[in-house]
Chains A and B, each alone.
Chain A
Amino acid sequence: MDALEMSGVDVVSLRRPDTVVLHDVNWIVQEGDYWAVGGLLGTGKSDLLATAAGLVPVAGGVFRIYGKEIAAGYEQDLIEARLKVGMVFDGGRLLNHLSVLENVALPLQYHENLTVAQCHDRAASLLEMAGLADYTSRMPGTINRRLQQRAGLARALALRPKVLLLDNPLSGLDPREALWWLTFLDQLSGTGTTLVMAADDFRPLHGRARQFAVLKDRRFLALGTREELGRHSEPLLRELLHD
């Protein structure tokens, strides 16, 4: 089944909604896929993911999440479709006025109308899974960026999304932390969660992600599966693989 579907989509910048950063994107993400979307800095990877999360309306074309055409707004049916997609932002983007636990509990509280105490167990188990059991009561500003990003992952998983978008989570990580993320994502992919990861280096994802694409010259270029990757002649691919 198609989890995400973009046909002829013009992607706009999240920060400057009047600027189109990608033209005519035709992309289908099927359930269970593990996509790696590469590109150089400023090519629109974050904007593409923001569009896929339903954060910004498309400037042209049609975008669907599980068959539901997505538009701006907070109508209940749109929210239901959008909640099937979770997103981990670069750096986590936690709400600074809430503790780490409250950040993870917030979506549960809001959508399931629970108190913090009622959703404490679920939020705490997510944080434990992310290796943050000792940081639950800390404020985001008091923990480092690496841990904030893990908390962002725990928060994105709170509502059990079917598709998880990850905005360059490996950027700036040491090898041990990068390995933790890759192993975690492998396990998540094994449970059937669809993954789309933006990356500016394909090397760590080679052999892990199953579908690859690059953004170049304001275009989305699907490169195919990992088997097809080796045969592809796209020059940017060589740069992303550091060949």
Chain B
Amino acid sequence: MSASHTWSQSYTTFVGRKLILFFQALYGLLAFGLITFGVIFTKLTFAHRVIRPLVFRQLYRAGLGVLPMIIFLALSLGLIIIGQTVSLLNRVGATQYLGTVMVTVVVRELGPMLTAFIVLLRTGTATVVELGTARALGEVEALEVLGIDPVHYFVVPRVLGMGLGLLALTIYMNLGALLSGYIWAFVQDVPLTPAEYFQQLAQSLRWIDFVVLALKALMFGAATAVVTCYHGLAQPLRLEEVPRATVRAVAQTVIAIALIDALFIVIYLTA
């Protein structure tokens, strides 16, 4: 058998195996997501005295707790993107496109996506480690034997907390970036009054931007929670497998966020 034939055969096997693993992961994630949303709706008010404080705790961790970093990044984003863009558009005499560029780049895309990545890094990774450790130490079985559904106790608060937290943080990120952008432009002596700047932004924003932004942020948050909880909770884990599960969860969440974003680009283009 020739070397090239052996190589192509092993390459095909490699690709085939990867594809099977991809579809298995996708199937597992979708099933886990559906189960989670089923539990949210069927146990909406059940044990609310236990679940509600957990939701608030997760909301704090994925919202208020991340806010200082979001503010810092919003200032940086304002400097890097907006300050530079305003300056550039002013130089080529195209400041009338400022609002469109800001809304397209920051409000629709960079703001929500950057926020989602920060929440993934700060809260999502911690979720995999926490749940993976709980799973490896047998805490999940301890919950089950008490008749407590681990999805209800561990996953539902995280989905709600991360969804709402990411929505709030995205709003702060966008507002912070747009405001700081103007400040950086002002520092660069760009002849643009605040009234003109905000008028352009207002003219570029449509009602669909608000709806899609809210939906996108909620879906980014929910997807982050579902994927990270799935990798921490859904399969038997040993302690030494937790770091690998965390790496897998981060990679798959980034893919999930990119896919959701692509879906919303299609919605924008067709709306």
Contacts of B133 on A, CB cut-off 8 Å? 96
Structural contact, B145 and A53, CB atoms closer than 8 A: yes
How many cross-chain pairs have Cβ atoms below 8 Å apart between A and B? Answer: 70
B215 at interface, CB cutoff 8 A: no
How does the 8 Å CB contact mask read for A75-92 relative to B, with 1 for contact and 0 for none?
A: 000010011011101000
Contacts of A17 on B, CB cut-off 8 Å? 236
How does the 8 Å CB contact mask read for A106-128 relative to B, with 1 for contact and 0 for none?
A: 11011101110000000000000
> Closest CB of chain B to A75's CB: distance in Å?
10
Contacts of A86 on B, CB cut-off 8 Å? 145
Structural contact, B236 and A15, CB atoms closer than 8 A: yes
Structural contact, A159 and B47, CB atoms closer than 8 A: no
Report A41-58 residues with CB < 8 Å from chain B CB. Answer: 50, 53-55
A45 to B156, CA, bound (A): 33
Structural contact, B146 and A93, CB atoms closer than 8 A: no
Chain A interface main SS type: loop
Structural contact, A95 and B139, CB atoms closer than 8 A: yes
Structural contact, A89 and B142, CB atoms closer than 8 A: yes
Structural contact, A16 and B145, CB atoms closer than 8 A: no
Structural contact, A95 and B143, CB atoms closer than 8 A: yes
Nearest CB in chain B to that of A13: its residue: B236
Contacts of B236 on A, CB cut-off 8 Å? 15-17
Structural contact, B137 and A96, CB atoms closer than 8 A: yes
A155 to B148, CA, bound (A): 13
Structural contact, B147 and A107, CB atoms closer than 8 A: yes
Nearest CB in chain A to that of B152: its residue: A74
Contacts of A96 on B, CB cut-off 8 Å? 133-134, 137, 139
Structural contact, A87 and B145, CB atoms closer than 8 A: yes
Known: A106-B148, A115-B49. A95 touches B141 (CB 8 A): no
Contacts of B141 on A, CB cut-off 8 Å? 14, 50, 55, 89, 93
Structural contact, B50 and A95, CB atoms closer than 8 A: no
Contacts of B16 on A, CB cut-off 8 Å? none
> Closest CB of chain A to B53's CB: distance in Å?
9
Structural contact, A55 and B147, CB atoms closer than 8 A: no
A237 at interface, CB cutoff 8 A: no
Structural contact, B139 and A93, CB atoms closer than 8 A: yes
Contacts of A106 on B, CB cut-off 8 Å? 50, 146, 148
Report A8-61 residues with CB < 8 Å from chain B CB. Answer: 14-17, 50, 53-55
B191 at interface, CB cutoff 8 A: no
Among B139, B143, B146, B148, the most chain A Cβ lie within 10 Å of the Cβ of B146
Residues of A near any B CB (own CB < 8 A): 14-17, 50, 53-55, 74, 79, 82-83, 85-87, 89, 93-97, 106-107, 109-111, 113-115, 152, 155-156, 159
Beyond A53-B145, A85-B145, A97-B130, 9 extra complex contacts between A and B, CB < 8 Å: A16-B236, A50-B141, A95-B134, A96-B134, A110-B146, A110-B153, A111-B47, A113-B48, A115-B49
Closest 8 CB pairs of A and B: A93-B142, A107-B146, A74-B149, A87-B145, A79-B147, A110-B47, A93-B138, A83-B147
